[in-house]
Amino acid sequence: MHVLKTLKMKKMYSKKDLSRLIIQTGKLCGEKNFTPGYSGNISARYKDGMLITTSGSANGYLRDSDIVFTDFCGKSLEKGKKPSSEKFLHIELYKKRPDFNFIIHVHAPHLSSFACAGKDLLEPVMAENVFYFGGIPLAEYALPSSMELVENTAKFFDKYDAVLMANHGFIVGSKTMEDAYLKLELAESYAQVVLNTKILGGAKQLNSQQTNAILNLRS
């Protein structure tokens, strides 16, 4: 069975279901080289807190022991398990966006290249990306796991569902794990296309009329 078939949203998820979703998504991200080595973290809203990957775990090789239940103060509710150092960023996004049930943070190579070059992906180059993202802004650099990073990044989620983090990586949230993963895949491909157009002399951008027409399709 294709992995994505297991990512579809149910009416209710058990802790076991959510852990399995996180593990399967991590594996898929690993296979696509979106989350090399120990980079990144994945979470799911659960009861009055969240399930999140543990500190030092590798998304592409997750096991049940690499998933920990925390409250929304960041406190581990499972003895001996330490949540990801980026836990407060996930918590802030869940508080800010009640529609988010899943969050994926990775260091996908093409997206991270733009983040490390200090360049956003706001230019309207492809219709699909305008439709699904509107744009992908760049959050100012702050030390990973710091509250400054939380503040710099979370403020963009008033308007956007995905953000580049300067000299760091990419984060996306959604109602379903399937949608969060597919938006990651779409964004990484988009970053590669934009990079390729620079080799070819630069992309031909959509004009404001064309962009507005695409955005109007959302409604």
Residues labelled as active-site residues: 86
Q: Which residue has the tokens 């949540």?
A: 83
- Select from 62, 70, 64 the least CA-distant residue to 44: 70
Neighbours of 212 (CB within 10 A): 12
CA distance 33 to 90: 22
CA distance 185 to 27: 14
Encoded tokens for 187:
């964004």
Cβ–Cβ < 8 Å for 173, 93: yes
Q: Which residue has the tokens 């049940």?
A: 64
